[in-house]
């Protein structure tokens, strides 16, 4: 029996299931949802991630392991003698072993006005959702508390468009994790982003009648506010344990095996006090989880031991790292490196020629190395003169990051959030044949939480695998930048970058104009992320996209008019025949996508060819596009005696809905009227198979150099449901796919279960993604003709303009 469903008990169960299936597991969770990554709430608040992105264990995981999960049901009583728990609904359930993981409660300062509507804590997803809702109305937010959570809240609310003031009682920010110098640099960085920071400021009261209107400080200053966020600390949630008669001090007291004063009750997480300490960072909580799982499985070797845990701030662009003891004291010496031009600061604290603490700001690459030296207690006398310059200057390692990783011991911690060492990663790679970052995350959890160690994990993989290491989705986009596609996508949204020059400036491109690899990718990301705001840059598109035709090996072009759902008319066929005759087009071919291809069009004839086709009502089939190519259909129930639904009509509707939207790579659809699958729906990017009960939605197929069948997303009852699901799926792919990444590669990277949870299982998420797709479709995605012909006549037959006219009619 587990009381609570946070990150610590979730990790405990993962470890437990690896070694035994001896337990039937029941979980009571006060929150009405599955387990999610709380340390990723800040990216959710800032808009960089969604709830679906931070789910750790979806519904399927609980079903797979036979777990009974009671969501939104709080335990109110523990009867130790009878070994049972009682929930707030009156449900009574017996246990053999009980694990209390009730976490912590946010501390709310009992100021006058603290209970007004608009005063929020920042602790869970509900708090985050309330802050997002408040930010939609604009205004000013006041964040009380300049610690980790407070600053992450402030940055997220600023990213959401609010004016933000941070009120902090102490002289510098994050005084528990940073020294004065680093705190000063952090304050200047935040102020540079437009966040007002008031240090040594004490809050007197929160003003307002029916809701928050402002905050009054002790010195008489009044700050207008429509939202107040309290982020001043947490307290272990011990009430149910205390009422059950367990030993409680600041937290629920346990021994080093995570047992409480009752031998049948364990406790893990922020509610625990072990060795006289309570913890709020995730790394020690995961160590508790491992120990508890070990003892529940019947082993007895493991014991929880305190270890210094590094601190990192999850605010994009604010790189800081601190670990250990950096307070003043006798017998200590400091080594400090400041670089005013780069805005970096490094301080290492020594005692008896050993590192006891480190504070890094701006350049944090050596944080893990300093932490390893701290934990090992290594004598640094021989490297004393070069220590502050980092690992690259020691022992001939040079500037090669792989050499630096090679010098790390197997016990070196690579992923601080999850306590994953270099040796654990290497062993998993070699034993399980792992070759991708996704596989390493799945098997070890390294870089699966905050993600700041991703580069280090990749270096470990590259060192271990050598030439076999392949990670196209996360490698640098091109020689112009060290950023991966994933980092660029995230930073474009996080920093509000809305032009190619802005991206290159903010992300420190090494070339003035980019190249043929990165410019098309950046153009796509900006088109997808800022519909209606970003102006499509035609010079960043390939020639095929600029001229609505595919260049052939002899320099001529292939022109493909669109035939929605593969349906055409005699008038359209006559127009195609007339164009072929008039411009002496040598080859007319029926394509595999149920359209007609005019091959051998001269470049100088492209404009008049399209003018004649447009005059007959035909628009570009986008056979060149990183977007919708075709929707292949069979005749379905209209003509076929086996057809169960109108597959042709649905295909035409889908093609009208999806046409014109740019996607990371080409997108091909098919709709089959029955399971006989004449339209070959089971090898398309997205396929629909009509069945008696409705429509099966499939996706992730491939039939080119790579061959794979589709995966079933689910079955929906109506055409409207199909269109909504396909629109949502396409938008999720648009928002999270990397440029030139086909949908099957995208699905392999994100995970098919995860995509199902987002698009099919979560109706609210599905509707939100579909609404964003519809919003993007309301804007012209491209205007290639004006750039191609350099004159206003092009607009007379621009396919986008024709589409707008059709919509208006």
Sheet containing strand 2-3, strands side by side: 68-71, 26-29, 2-3, 98-100, 265-267
Alpha-carbon distance 559 to 625, whole Å?
A: 12
Please check if 674 is assigned to a binding site.
yes
What does the angle CA 565 – CA 569 – CA 571 come to, to the nearest 5 degrees?
Answer: 140
Distance, CA of 484 to CA of 477 (rounded, Å): 5
Residue 634, annotated as binding a ligand: yes
Q: Retrieve residue 292's tokens.
A: 């508890």
d(CA 251, CA 242): 10
Q: What is the largest CA-CA distance in the chain?
A: 94
Q: How many residues does the chain have?
A: 809
Residue pointed to by tokens 């690579």: 414
**Which residues on adjacent β-strands are paired with residue 254?**
274
**Cα four-point dihedral sign 302, 305, 310, 315:** positive
Give the whole-angstrom CA distance, residue 268 versus residue 292: 8
Note whether 583 and 601 are within 8 A (CB): yes
Q: Do 446 and 459 form a contact (C-beta atoms < 8 A)?
A: no
Q: 62, 97 in Cβ contact below 8 A?
A: no
Residue 678, marked binder: yes
- The long-range contacts involving 87-90, CB below 8 angstroms and separated by at least 24 positions, are 87/28
Q: Which of 25, 30, 6, 37 is nearest to 239 (CA)?
A: 30
CB 230 within 8 A of CB 109: yes
Q: If we measure between CA atoms, which residue out of 673, 737, 672 comes closest to residue 710?
A: 672
Triad 573, 577, 582: Cα angle to 5°: 145
Residue 761 has φ and ψ, to the nearest 5°, of -80, -35
How many Å apart are CA 214 and CA 222, to the nearest integer? 7
Give dist(CA 564, CA 672) in Å, integer.
15
On the CB side of 85, how many CA atoms lie within 13 Å of its CA? 25
Whole-number Å distance between alpha carbons of 203 and 218? 6
If we measure between CA atoms, which residue out of 661, 720, 730 comes closest to residue 699?
Answer: 730
The torsion angles phi and psi of 464, rounded to 5 degrees, stand at -80, -40
Spatial separation of the C-alpha atoms in residues 588 and 576, rounded to whole Å: 9
**Cα–Cα distance, 139 to 229 (Å, whole number):** 14
CA distances from 129 to 261, 310, 491, 715, 728 (A): 38, 28, 22, 30, 21
Contact partners, residue 440, CB within 8 Å, separation at least 6: 425, 428, 429, 434, 446, 447, 457, 461
Is-contact 23 16, C-beta < 8 A?
yes
Q: Where are the beta strands (DSSP E) in 375-440?
A: 413-415, 420-421
DSSP 683-699: GSSEEEEEETTEEEEEE
299: helix, coil or strand?
Answer: coil
Measure the CA–CA gap between 317 and 189, rounded to whole angstroms.
Answer: 9
End-to-end, the C-alpha distance of the chain in Å comes to 62
CA gap 104, 659 in Å, rounded: 50
* CB 731, CB 772: distance < 8 Å: yes
Q: Which residues are annotated as a binding site?
A: 634, 640, 674, 678
Q: Which residues are annotated as a binding site for siroheme?
A: 678
Q: Which residues are annotated as a binding site for [4Fe-4S] cluster?
A: 634, 640, 674, 678
């Amino acid at each position: 029996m587990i009381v609570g469903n946070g990150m610590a008990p979730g990790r405990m169960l993962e470890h437990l299931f690896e070694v035994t299936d001896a337990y039937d597991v029941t979980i009571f969770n006060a929150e009405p949802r599955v387990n999610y990554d709380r340390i990723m709430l800040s990216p959710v608040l800032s808009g960089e991630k969604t709830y679906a992105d931070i789910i750790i264990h979806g519904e399927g995981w609980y079903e797979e392991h036979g777990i009974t999960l009671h969501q939104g049901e709080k335990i109110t009583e523990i009867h130790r003698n009878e070994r049972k728990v009682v929930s707030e609904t009156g449900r009574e359930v017996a246990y053999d072993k009980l694990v209390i993981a009730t976490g912590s409660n946010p501390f709310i300062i009992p100021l006058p006005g603290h209970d007004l509507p608009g005063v929020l804590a920042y602790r869970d997803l509900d708090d985050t959702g309330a802050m997002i809702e408040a930010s939609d109305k604009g205004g000013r937010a006041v964040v009380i508390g300049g610690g980790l959570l407070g600053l992450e809240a402030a940055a997220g609310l600023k990213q959401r468009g609010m004016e933000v003031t941070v009120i902090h009682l102490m002289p510098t920010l994050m005084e528990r994790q940073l020294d004065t110098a680093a705190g000063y640099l952090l304050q200047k960085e935040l102020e540079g982003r437009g966040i007002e920071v008031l240090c040594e400021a004490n809050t007197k009261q929160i003003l307002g009648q029916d809701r928050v209107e402002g905050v009054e400080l002790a010195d008489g200053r009044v700050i207008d506010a429509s939202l107040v966020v309290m982020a001043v600390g947490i307290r272990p949630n011990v009430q149910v344990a205390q009422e059950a008669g367990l030993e409680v001090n600041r937290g629920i007291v346990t021994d080093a095996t995570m047992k409480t004063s009752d031998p049948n009750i364990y406790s893990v997480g922020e509610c625990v006090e072990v060795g006289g300490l309570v913890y709020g960072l995730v790394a020690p909580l995961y160590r508790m989880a491992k120990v508890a799982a070990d003892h529940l499985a019947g082993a007895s070797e493991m014991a929880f031991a305190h270890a210094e845990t590094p601190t990192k701030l999850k605010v994009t662009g604010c790189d800081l790292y601190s670990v250990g003891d950096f307070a003043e004291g006798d017998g200590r010496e400091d080594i400090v490196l400041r670089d005013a031009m780069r805005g970096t600061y490094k301080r290492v604290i020594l005692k008896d020629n050993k590192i006891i603490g480190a504070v890094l700001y701006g350049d944090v690459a050596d944080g893990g190395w300093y932490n390893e030296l701290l934990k090992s207690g290594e004598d640094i006398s021989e490297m004393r003169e070069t220590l502050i310059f980092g690992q690259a200057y020691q022992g001939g390692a040079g500037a090669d990051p792989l050499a630096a990783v090679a010098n790390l011991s197997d016990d070196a911690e690579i992923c601080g959030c999850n306590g994953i060492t270099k040796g654990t990663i290497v062993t998993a790679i070699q034993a399980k044949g792992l070759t991708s970052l996704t596989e390493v995350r799945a098997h070890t959890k390294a870089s699966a939480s905050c993600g700041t160690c991703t580069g280090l994990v990749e270096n470990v993989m590259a060192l271990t695998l050598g030439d076999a290491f392949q990670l196209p989705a996360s490698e640098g986009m091109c020689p112009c930048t060290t950023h991966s596609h994933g980092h660029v996508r995230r930073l474009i949204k996080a920093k509000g970058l809305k032009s190619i020059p802005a991206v290159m400036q903010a992300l420190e491109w090494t070339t003035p104009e980019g190249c043929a690899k990165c410019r098309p990718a950046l153009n796509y990301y900006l088109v997808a992320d800022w519909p209606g705001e970003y102006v499509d840059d035609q010079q960043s598109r390939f020639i095929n996209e600029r001229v609505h035709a595919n260049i052939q090996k002899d320099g001529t072009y292939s022109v493909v008019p669109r035939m929605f759902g593969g349906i055409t008319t005699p008038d359209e066929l006559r127009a195609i025949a007339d164009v072929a005759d008039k411009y002496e087009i040598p080859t007319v071919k029926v394509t595999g996508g149920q359209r007609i291809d005019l091959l051998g069009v001269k470049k100088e004839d492209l404009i008049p060819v399209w003018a004649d086709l447009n005059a007959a009502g035909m628009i570009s089939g986008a056979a060149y596009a990183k977007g919708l190519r075709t929707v292949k259909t069979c005749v379905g129930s209209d003509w076929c005696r086996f057809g169960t639904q109108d597959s042709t009509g649905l295909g035409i509707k889908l093609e009208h809905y999806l046409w014109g939207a740019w996607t990371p790579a080409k997108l091909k659809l098919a709709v089959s009227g029955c399971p006989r699958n004449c339209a070959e729906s089971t090898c398309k990017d997205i396929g629909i198979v009509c069945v008696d009960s409705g429509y099966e939605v499939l996706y992730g197929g491939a039939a080119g150099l790579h061959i794979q069948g589709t995966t079933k997303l689910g079955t929906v009852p109506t055409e409207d449901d199909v269109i909504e699901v396909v629109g949502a799926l396409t938008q999720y792919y648009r928002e999270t796919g990397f440029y030139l990444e086909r949908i099957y590669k995208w699905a392999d990277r994100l995970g098919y279960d995860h995509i199902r949870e987002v698009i099919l299982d979560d109706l609210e998420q599905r509707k939100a993604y579909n609404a964003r797709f519809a919003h993007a479709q309301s804007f012209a995605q491209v205007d290639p003709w004006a750039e191609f012909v350099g004159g206003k006549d092009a607009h007379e037959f621009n396919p986008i303009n024709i589409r707008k006219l059709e919509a208006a009619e």
